[in-house]
Structure 1
Amino acid sequence: MAFWKANIVTAFLFLVIDYPIWTYNAEFFEFFIAGSHIYVFVIGLLFGFAYKKTGSLWLVVLLHAFHNFFVTII
C-alpha cells in the first residue's frame, strides 16, 4: 500500500481510538467536537509523516506523550 493511503488509514484509526474518551465524557455529539475530529486526524497524519521521515516509532511515541502532556496542561 502506498504511504499516503496507509497514513490516512492509520490517522483514521488514531481518530477512532479517541472515541471512547469522548463518549465517556459525553462530548461526542457536541458541536465543537467536530473541530476536534479534524484536529486529531491531522495529528495522526503528522505522526505518520514523522515516522516516515525518521523510521523511528519511539519518536512518534515521544511526540504523542509530549502532545498529551501539553494538552493536559492547557
Structure 2
Amino acid sequence: MPFKSHLPEIMKRRGMSYEELQYRSGTAPDTIARARDSRIETCQLKTLGKLADALDVSIHELFDYSSEKNQPHPNITA
C-alpha cells in the first residue's frame, strides 16, 4: 500500500476518539477506520479535508505517499 497513515498518532496527540472524529468531521466510521489502517485506496479530497479540519492539521499531514514500482497511484478525486 502506498499510503502511510498518520491518523492514529494525530488522534492520540489530540486525545480524540473515533466517535469524536466522526462527529467533528461528518465522516463515516468505516472511512475513518480504513484511513487509520491505511486501507483507503480511493478518497475524495473533500473527505480528506474534513478529516484534516476536524484534527486541525493539513491534508498533507494525514498521510505519506510512497511511490514504489508496481504500486498504483492513489485515486484521490475532487
Which entry has the higher C-alpha Rg, 1 or 2?
1
Structure with greater contact order relative to length (CA < 8 Å, sep ≥ 6): 2
Fold shared per TM-score above 0.5: no
TM-score range relative to shorter protein: under 0.3
Larger relative strand fraction: 2
Higher helix share: 1
**What TM-score, normalized by structure 1, do the two folds share?**
0.27
Structure 2 length-normalised TM = 0.26
